C-alpha cells in the first residue's frame, strides 16, 4: 500500500511528487465523503489531535478541526492568547504537557519560521505545519494545486501567476515548491521591494507589469499584503499598490482569454482584488476553502496511518 515518504508535514520542500499525487488521490476519496448526506467516516476513532494556534486563523483552524471531526478523531484546541504561554511557558513545555494527555498529532500554527521543524525534533508526535511565519503553509499550497487540478484537469504545463507580497508570504513559497514538483510554469508579480532577491533561483520568472503577467497566465493567485509582518513601508501608499498590482474587472476584460482567479484568504477587498472579481464566476476562492477540508483529511489520514 502507498504511504507518504515523511512522518510529519513540515513543508512542501520535504515532499516528493509521489507524495503530492497520493495526497490528491486520497483527497478525491474524502471529497466524495464530505459531499454525502453523512459526511463522516470512523477511520481515526483511535487518534487524538491537538490544534495548537499561536497566530490568528479562520480558514486553516476551522478546516483542520472539521477535517479531524469528519475522520472521527478526538480533538483538543489550544489558543496561545488564552493559555499559560501568557505566563511564560515555553513552546516545548506547552506541547509536552499537551502530549502527556495522550495526544498523537499536533497541528501547529506559529509566527516563527521553522517552529514545526523544531518541535518535530523535540517531541514525540506527528507534526503538521499549519503556517510558520513567512516560511511555509503546506496544506494551503496542496489545496491550491488541488483546486487548479480540479478546475483545469492538470497542474503540469499550466502558467501560474502569484501576485503581491511574495517576500512575507508562506503561501507563495509553499505554492512555488508544490507547483514546481508538478511541472507548472510559475511567474511572480509585485513591487520589487516585495520580491525576494533569491526568487529566480527557485525557478520562477519575475514580471512587474501586472497586465503583461495576466496575459501570460492561466491562473492568477492574488495574495494579501501582510502588513502585520512589516516594520517598514515597502510601497508609497495602498492606493498606488492597488493601481499597479490590484486585480479588477476592467483588467480581466482586456485579456483575450479567461483566467482562473484564486486567493488564499483573508481578502482585503478593494486592495489586491475588487469584489466584482473575487465574487465572479472566474473566482474559485470558495472552492479552495471547500477543498481545504478534503486535503486536510487526506494529510491527517496519511500521517496517522504511519503512527498506528
Q: Which is nearer to ligand CP, 157 or 266 (CB)?
A: 266
The helix or strand, by DSSP H or E, that contains position 79, with its residue range, turns out to be strand 74-79
* Burial classification of residue 12, based on how many CB atoms lie within 10 Å of its CB (0-12 exposed, 13-18 middle, 19 or more buried): buried
Q: Which is nearer to ligand CP, 185 or 273 (CB)?
A: 273
83 binds ligand CP, rule: CB under 6 A = no
| Window 225-264: residues binding ligand CP (CB under 6 A) | 264
59 binds ligand CP, rule: CB under 6 A = yes
Q: How far apart are CA 90 and CA 210, in angstroms?
A: 44
Q: How far is the CB of 75 from ligand CP (least distance, A)?
A: 17
Q: How far is CA 156 from the centre of its chain?
A: 19
Please identify which residue in 43, 60, 175, 291 interacts with ligand CP, judged by CB under 6 A: 60
41-49, 58-66, 112-120, 270-278 -> range binding ligand CP (CB under 6 A): 58-66
CA dist list (Å): 168 to 128, 178, 230, 294: 21, 18, 8, 27
6-14, 57-65, 230-238, 248-256 -> range binding ligand CP (CB under 6 A): 57-65
Q: How far is the CB of 105 from ligand CP (least distance, A)?
A: 18
Query: Is the preceding omega at residue 266 within 30 degrees of 0, hence cis?
Result: yes
Q: How far is the CB of 270 from ligand CP (least distance, A)?
A: 19
Please identify which residue in 157, 183, 266, 270 interacts with ligand CP, judged by CB under 6 A: 266
Q: How far apart are CA 286 and CA 289, in angstroms?
A: 5
Q: How far is the CB of 87 from ligand CP (least distance, A)?
A: 26
280 binds ligand CP, rule: CB under 6 A = no
Q: How far apart are CA 35 and CA 246, in angstroms?
A: 34
265 binds ligand CP, rule: CB under 6 A = yes
| Window 114-133: residues binding ligand CP (CB under 6 A) | 131
Q: Which is nearer to ligand CP, 265 or 287 (CB)?
A: 265
140 binds ligand CP, rule: CB under 6 A = yes
Q: How far is the CB of 200 from ligand CP (least distance, A)?
A: 26
Q: How far apart are CA 237 and CA 60, in angstroms?
A: 30
Instruction: Report the greatest alpha carbon distance in the chain.
Output: 59
Q: Which is nearer to ligand CP, 129 or 274 (CB)?
A: 129
Bridge partners (DSSP) of residue 110 are: 132
208 binds ligand CP, rule: CB under 6 A = no
Q: How far apart are CA 245 and CA 291, in angstroms?
A: 27
- 3-state class (DSSP) for residue 197: coil
139 binds ligand CP, rule: CB under 6 A = no
Bridge partners (DSSP) of residue 126 are: 105
- Residue, CB closest to ligand CP: 60
Q: How far apart are CA 116 and CA 130, in angstroms?
A: 9
| Window 141-200: residues binding ligand CP (CB under 6 A) | none
> Which DSSP category does 3 fall into?
-
Query: Which residues contact ligand CP (rule: CB under 6 A)?
Result: 57-60, 131, 137, 140, 264-266
Amino acid at each position: 500500500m502507498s504511504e507518504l515518504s515523511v512522518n510529519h508535514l513540515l513543508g512542501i520542500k520535504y515532499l516528493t511528487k509521489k507524495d503530492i499525487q497520493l495526497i490528491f488521490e486520497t483527497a478525491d476519496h474524502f471529497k466524495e465523503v464530505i459531499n454525502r448526506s453523512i459526511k463522516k467516516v470512523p477511520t481515526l476513532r483511535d487518534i487524538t489531535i491537538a490544534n495548537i494556534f499561536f497566530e490568528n486563523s479562520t480558514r486553516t483552524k476551522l478546516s483542520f478541526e472539521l477535517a479531524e471531526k469528519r475522520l472521527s478523531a478526538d480533538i483538543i484546541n489550544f489558543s496561545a492568547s488564552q493559555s499559560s504561554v501568557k505566563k511564560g511557558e515555553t513552546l516545548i513545555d506547552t506541547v509536552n504537557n499537551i502530549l502527556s494527555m495522550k495526544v498523537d498529532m499536533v497541528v501547529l500554527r506559529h509566527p516563527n519560521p521553522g517552529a514545526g521543524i523544531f518541535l518535530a525534533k523535540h517531541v514525540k508526535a506527528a507534526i503538521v505545519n499549519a503556517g510558520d511565519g513567512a516560511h511555509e503553509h503546506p496544506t494551503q499550497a496542496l489545496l491550491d494545486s488541488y483546486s487548479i487540478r480540479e478546475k483545469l484537469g492538470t497542474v503540469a504545463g499550466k502558467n501560474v501567476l502569484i501576485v503581491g507580497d511574495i517576500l512575507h508570504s508562506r503561501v507563495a513559497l509553499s505554492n512555488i515548491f508544490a507547483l514546481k514538483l508538478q511541472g507548472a510554469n510559475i511567474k511572480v508579480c509585485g513591487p520589487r521591494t516585495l520580491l525576494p532577491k533569491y526568487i529566480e533561483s527557485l525557478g520562477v520568472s519575475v514580471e512587474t507589469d501586472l497586465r503583461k503577467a495576466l496575459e501570460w497566465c492561466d491562473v492568477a493567485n492574488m495574495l494579501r499584503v501582510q502588513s502585520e509582518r512589516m516594520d517598514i513601508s515597502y510601497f508609497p501608499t495602498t492606493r498606488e499598490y492597488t493601481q499597479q498590482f490590484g486585480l479588477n474587472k476592467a483588467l480581466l476584460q482586456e485579456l483575450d482569454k479567461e483566467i482562473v482567479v484564486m486567493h488564499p484568504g483573508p481578502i482585503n477587498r478593494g486592495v489586491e482584488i475588487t469584489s466584482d472579481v473575487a465574487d465572479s464566476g472566474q473566482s474559485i476562492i470558495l472552492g479552495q476553502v471547500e477543498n481545504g477540508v478534503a486535503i486536510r483529511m487526506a494529510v491527517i489520514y496519511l500521517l496517522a496511518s504511519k503512527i498506528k
